[in-house]
Structure formats: structure tokens, C-alpha cells
Amino acid sequence: MKPFLKRLLNKSRSFRKKMDEYHESITFAEAGEPAHGGSAAEAEQPEEQPGLLLVIGNGNTFSQRVIDYALEMAQRMSYDILALNVAPIPQEAVKMFAPSRNKIEEFEEKSRENAQAFKAAAEEKGIALTHTVKFGDTDSVVQEVGKEYGPVEFVISEPSEEQAVERPENENRPEKQLYVYSMV
């Protein structure tokens, strides 16, 4: 039983250390300090595959604010980006309703067009970016993406219009906040 507890304790310490490094990197990235972000995490595991940063668009678009933040974070932490557009249409409905197929294809095409600026900006900075379009509720789609593309370390998204309206206003806060959360 003791070896098991020791392994569990070591894993816990390793996880805590890695999370501290992530938080430190994010803090430096938000403060605009280029010399600090991600260096400890990069030096520790150079031969591992880069982490995956999932960026969820707002409908079929990505705001410039989300693009800029995601590129900066991906560059500092040596992550690849998966840009995701989600349409809140259940998968069953997509398959069943042929007449709405035009709307679905229109959403996919518009999403690909809007992702081109994001892709170009990522290429400019040497960041690998993959774009995909999925249908369903966002939580289920994020789980599906994790299975399809590998483990997602962080997710960046903007609040939906409903969330922005429901939030209490405060003159000291920016109009919209980005959501950044860890999946580890």
C-alpha cells in the first residue's frame, strides 16, 4: 500500500507544480512580459508533443480579441491551436433534416472563411492551427474534440450574448471578459 501512496503523492506534487507553472505563464502573458511565459514548462519536457489550446468561436466567427489572446498564449506556452466553431444544432437534427442542409453548409462555409484570418495570423507566428466545425451543445462538442484531437489543456472562449447580458455591470470592468479555463 505504501508504494501506491508514494506514487500518488508524487503525481500530486508533479500536477501541482505543472499547474503553478501554467498559472505563472498565464499571468505573465496577461501582463505582456515576453521573457517569462512558459519557459519552465518548455524546458521540463522538450520532446513531448505540444499542448493543445482549444479556441471556441462565437457562432461562425472569431473576434480579433480572441484571436490575439489565443495566439499570444499559444506562442508563450508552445501550444498548437484547435479553432472550433460550434453550431447549437443536435447531431441527430443535422442528419435528419435534409431541407436545412443548405443552412448547415452555409454555416460551415462561413466558419471556414472567417477562420482564414486566424489561420494566417497563426502561420505568421509559426503556430500550428487546425480548424473544425461541429454541431451540438458546446460541452458535448468539447468532450468529442478531446477524443478526436487529443487532450485539450486550455479552452478560450467568449461569453455568448445571453451570458454578457445577464452579467452585472460595473463601470470598472471591461464590457466582455474572455473565458480561459484548464481541462487538465
- How confident is residue 97, by pLDDT bands cut at 50, 70 and 90? low
Q: How many whole angstroms separate alpha carbon 133 and alpha carbon 172?
A: 36
pTM: 0.65
C-alpha Rg value of the chain to the nearest Å: 19
Give the pLDDT of residue 8. 52
Percentage of residues in the chain with pLDDT exceeding 70? 67
* pLDDT tens by residue, 24-41: 877 777 777 765 544 444
Residue 147 pLDDT exceeds 80: yes
Residue 154, judged by CB atoms within 10 A of its CB (0-12, 13-18, 19+), counts as buried
For the ranges 1-5, 50-54, 100-104, the lowest mean pLDDT is seen at 1-5
- For all residues of the chain together, what is the average pLDDT? 78
Class of domain 49-182: alpha beta
> Where do the structural domains in the chain lie, given as residue ranges?
1-48, 49-182
167: left (phi over 0), alpha (psi -120 to 50) or beta: beta
For 163-182, what is the mean pLDDT?
A: 62
For 148-156, what is the mean pLDDT?
A: 92
The C-alpha angle 33, 49, 13, rounded to 5 degrees, equals 70
For 105-124, what is the mean pLDDT?
A: 94
For 85-112, what is the mean pLDDT?
A: 77
